[in-house]
Amino acid sequence: MSVKRLSYVLIASTLLSGCSTSQVLENWHTPSAWFGEDNNTADSNNPLDSDEVVVAQGDEGLKKSVASGNGDQASDAPLDDAIAPELRKQAREAREKLDNPRSSQDVATSESDLWDRLRAGFQMDHSVDNARVQAQLDWYARHPRYIDRVVERGSRYLYHILEETEKRGLPNELALLPIVESAFDPFAYSHGRAAGLWQFIPSTGKYFGLTQSWWHDDRRDVIAATDAALTYLDRLANRFDGDYTLALAAYNAGGGTVSSSIRRNRNAGKSTDYWSLSLPTETRHYVPKLIALAKIFDDPEAYGIELPALKNEPFFEVVDTGSQLDIAQAAELAGVEINEIYLLNPSYNRWATNPDGPHRLLVPVEKAEGFRTALADFPTEQRVSWQNYRVQKGDSLNTIARKFSTTPSVIQQVNKLNSDLIRIGQQLLIPSATKGSETYALSQSQRLQRTQERQRDGNKVNYTVRRGDTFWDIAREHRVSVREVAAWNGMAPGDPLIPGKQLVIWSKTAQPTKNVASSQRDSAMVRKVGYRVRQGDSLSAIASRFSVNVRDIASWNDLNTNRYLQPGQSLVLYVDIRNSP
């Protein structure tokens, strides 16, 4: 099929799947949205044709923590500690009930138990006999505490996800996918720039309408991201003729990767089912993880696991707030801990909801009506705190915005400014937080502060990013890896480094300085280069061609050096263009 003809098919399928005509036309007028950089290649930003593997974040980290015996001391433990006390009480009571056989006369039990509802909608084949599935089953069976922890986290979100899964007629196994993707950590952020329960990368999130701003990140929005993820999975299932193992593989590695592997097997006369395909390592273990989890949740006793009971009831309700609202004010009005508001509304980065909307908050269902009543009686002008500020010499909207943890556009909007020009002595009205920064413990800035303050091995260096800096430059100077520098600062290696940004580096150099500036680095001309693997390529061959190290290539792309590269695989390289071919 020609690319042009394929594009018409994509447009038609998009319309049938619920995309508005305006969205299609907008994409049509942006050639790269359909064709990529030229008319001969598919656009990697189109997730249906992508060949980019999205490495899940949270699952392996929590696994390692539990396996090492530090499950309760994991870096993300406060998320679990913030769970509502009444839910913990319900879980304890439920565990006691699980010790007793169910009475056949207890008709209400199955109706009130979320696990029974989950099992009733299982559709995938759990009988597959595969070593990869068995390896995952063995691990989960040896670490029941892991299951306890992800269930405790997921208890806020599972009912809603299951509701949305059933509405679409999708297999209920997909409701367990956030365990694989993020271990149900709503703030999970991977080194591949994937965020939230469903681990959307920026391009795929944008494709499905998940917008990002200084105030918010819809990839972490429980409602919006769940809708986007299930829509994506549904389209992938349709693409692969209802085969959900292939759809799941494509969710992880991109539809283009899976289609290419199917094509290679078909041309070689081999089977084209998921278990027979040659796929990236991450993707080869991705579906087995979900199948193993589904088998455990289907029959936990068979694996020596006791599931904490969950009622078949919604955990939260959506409350219309009407306008921007301080998160601390919302917590007080709703009568809940502020961390609970953040855990149910993890898309909000700052101390308040997004001034541009959507103006809604998720709150525990038992608090919803009281919150609505309190909100109706609460003066609109007090929903955020306001401060009068007199412009001083050297001020700009940017510096003022940083000082008050807001944005220049908000200051412009509130003060009806037609431009970003301000004058000395001018009075500005600035929205600001009602409480101290430490109150907003799960805001983005506070999460980052805790990450940067965590003790690591090495000498701590406070580093200020300069123009032209790259992760590779900084990592090389301090004898650490690119991924380490990014992780220490709550970032991904692909995130932009903005001049002036403060980084924390745990340097391995003997005498680190605040800002290292070597003549070699200043004279280097390092550029980010995209490279597509060719037939016969190896890491050593590519490293030699571009005068870089194999270890660096592996670090930049999260590669296992013991695995073979796949033709067509995309790599990111940071090369000195004076030494490159």
Contact 391, 424 (CB under 8 A): yes
Tell me which residue has tokens 């997909």: 174
C-alpha pair distances (Å), 105 with each of 65, 110, 200, 266, 378: 42, 11, 45, 54, 49
φ, ψ of residue 379 to 5 degrees: the values are -60, 135
460: β partners: 506
Dist. CA 273–CA 316, nearest whole Å: 39
Percent helix, strand and coil across the chain, each rounded to 5? 50, 10, 40
Dist. CA 327–CA 347, nearest whole Å: 12
Respond yes or no: is residue 181 known to be catalytic.
yes
325: β partners: none
Upstream peptide bond of 202 is cis (omega within 30 degrees of 0)? no
Alpha helices in 240-321, H assignment, sequence order: 244-253, 255-267, 281-298
Dist. CA 229–CA 210, nearest whole Å: 10
Write down the catalytic residue from 181, 340, 477, 484.
181
Dist. CA 269–CA 271, nearest whole Å: 7
Contact 385, 433 (CB under 8 A): yes
Write the DSSP assignment of 184-251 as a string of letters: T-TT-B-TTS-BTTTTB-HHHHHHTT--B-SSBBGGG-HHHHHHHHHHHHHHHHHHTTT-HHHHHHHH
Helix (H, G, I), strand (E, B) or coil at 67: helix
Q: Two tokens at 497?
A: 């480094």
Active site members: 181
